[in-house]
Structures are given as C-alpha cells and as structure tokens.
Chain A
Amino acid sequence: MPEEEDNLILRAVEGDPAAFGDLYDRYHPQIYRFIYLKIGRREESEDLTHQVFLSAWEHVREYTHRGHPFGSWLYRIARNSVIDHYRSRRDVLPLEEMDGEMFRSEENIEEAAALSMLLADVREALRKLKPDHQDIIILRFVEELSVREAAHALGRSEGAVKLLQHRAMRELQKHLRQPVTILGDPELTTEQPWK
C-alpha cells in the first residue's frame, strides 16, 4: 500500500475531513461500480454509495489499520448496505438498459454496439448469481483485486476465495446467452451453445 494512503487513513481516523475526502475520491468509483453491478439502478446505486461513505466516516475512528487496503473495509460496508437494501426492497428490480455513453470511447461504433450487447448479457448473467458469486467476480475480475485482498474484503480465507471464484465463473458461464470462454480453465474453454 502506498505510504500516502497510510497517511490519509491515519489522518481520517483522527477525524480529518480533508483526508477522508481524498479517500472518497480514491475509492468512490470502485464502490459505486460494485454496488451498481449488484443493484442495477443508477440512482439507487449512487444513494447507496453515499450511504456507504457516510457510514464509513461515522465509524472511521473505530477502523484499525492492519495493512489491508482501506477499500476492503469499504467493500464490507458496501456488501452489508446492499444486503440491507434487498431486505428493505423485496420487489424484483428490472434490469436497467446498458448505458451507451459508457463505451463511447470505442473507436468503431459497430464494435462498440456489439460489445455493449455482450456486456449487457454479462451484467444480466451476473445479476442472476448468488450474492457471494457476484462479489467474488466483481472483486477479482472487474476490480482486479488480488486473492488476498478479495479474501479480506469478503472475510474468507484465500483458499475459500479461489474455490468460490471457480464456482462463480462456472455459474456465470451457465447464465450467459452468448458463447464465451474462460481463460486458464481447460474445462471451461468450450463455447457454450446458444440458448
């Protein structure tokens, strides 16, 4: 972890709002993404993300820095917030349409459209998974956390995380409508038939 972040965390724990603001800037995008991929609605995801940071600020004095990334702690709060959100809202949320602006950086419009469709499929499949499987896929493959970081964020052992990741990817592939492959897994490189 960079020394700068250690310093920010220590200052935030001592109650420095500016330091916490810097941590907010640093971690807001990934916490928002984590929630958005699980919730699927922009406004609700933004509100929940805000609540996560408010809660983090209220409890930051209790935070004990043990060398793990600050983000792991935030992910834990985010996971609990999402669970609470689903408890309070039992109705099924409709899938939001894929935001076209998200991929406007793609040079080729046709490629961007095709990619957008594929990603919509992935997001839909992702949201059909169990919460644990969603968490591990987002943390490991979207946010690209290490096994150790993901294990700390999920409160599991590294071995358990590897096993969970394997199962989650298998489940994800089952729910995809379009043929995709999984790297590094010879059993899963066969393309899925169209459903």
Chain B
Amino acid sequence: MEIEHLLRHLKKIESRAEYRAHLRAHLLTRARHPRRLTWRDVVIGAFQSGSAIALTVVLIVLMVGGFSIAKYVQKVAGLDPQGLRAEAHAIDMQLELTGLDYQDFGTAGTHALAGMGVHRAAPRPSKPAPAAGTGAATVTTTTDSGEASAPAMSVDEALELLSH
C-alpha cells in the first residue's frame, strides 16, 4: 500500500464533537464579551503611556534646546596629542628619579658612579621622594662624611654616561 494513500486516511481524525461545540461557545462568549479592564491594567497602561510621552518630551526639549553631541566631540578632538605625550614622558622621568634615589646599585653601579664623580647616597630610609616638578631634576649626592663636594650632574647626563 502506498504511503500517500495511508496518509489520506489520517484525515478522518476528528476531535470530539461535544468538546468542539463547548470550546466554540466559550470562544464566542469571550469574543462577544471582551475582558474588562481592571485597575491594574489601567495603571500599567497609564504608566507605559506616561513613560513613552515623557521620553518623547525629553527628546524634543533636547533637540529644540540645541543639544548636540558634536560639542563634546569637538572637545575631545581638540586635545593635543604631542602635549599629552610630553606629559606622559615627564611622569616616567619622575618615576625613574624616585627609583634612582633608593636603588642599591651594588658594586658595579657604585664604581660606575664613582667614576663619573657621582657618589652613592647614604641610606636614608625616611627620606621623602623628590617633589614632582620639572622633568629635568638634578641629583645631588652626599658623601658618607657629609661633604657636599661632588659636582652636580643632571639625570639625563648620568643616564647618558651609563649607557656608554
């Protein structure tokens, strides 16, 4: 027997007539008497409508008031990238200076500094970090006996010498 023939037989499937009639009556009753609005429905509906209206009003006010995001975009676009880079570089220098002040160079570092005429600073645990200021800060070192005789040398010069 062919499947098509068998499948057509399935068309005889029907729901129960009494149930169908009952549901039809129920459906038509609901259709003729739509559900009454409750206070809850009214409140929710009003809230939803009110929110939509308020949002619309805010948008209209912003548009009429000349609000434009372009103003903020222009501010951002007006930043000077070179200035920012210079500032960032200055911050890096301050960090290096702080590290230099407290760093224990060890023997090799001490000899190198001594060769340059720069002496290792005496350990001063409570010494505050150099105040932030210009990038080209000067390192003044003291000997153990407290003599302040070493010539002053800028950090940039010291670093340049170390690199050779």
Contacts and interface: CB of A to CB of B under 8 A. Distances in A.
Query: Chain B interface mostly helix, strand, loop or mixed?
Result: helix
Interface stretch (B12-20, B69-77, B97-105, B113-121): B12-20
Interface residues of A, number: 43
A182 to B, nearest CB: 5
Interface stretch (B2-10, B59-67, B145-153): B2-10
B2 A182 contact: yes
Given A17-B31, A21-B27, A181-B2, A28 B7 contact: no
Query: Chain A interface mostly helix, strand, loop or mixed?
Result: helix
Interface string A138-153: 1001111000000000
Contacts, number: 100
B17 to A, nearest CB: 10
Given A53-B27, A142-B7, A28 B2 contact: no
B23 A50 contact: yes
Interface of B: 1-16, 19-20, 23-24, 26-28, 30-32
7 contacts: A21-B31, A37-B13, A99-B13, A102-B14, A141-B4, A141-B8, A182-B2
Interface of A: 17-18, 20-21, 24-25, 28-29, 32-33, 36-37, 42, 45-46, 49-50, 53-54, 57, 99, 102-103, 105, 115, 118-119, 122-123, 137-138, 141-144, 169, 172-173, 176, 180-183
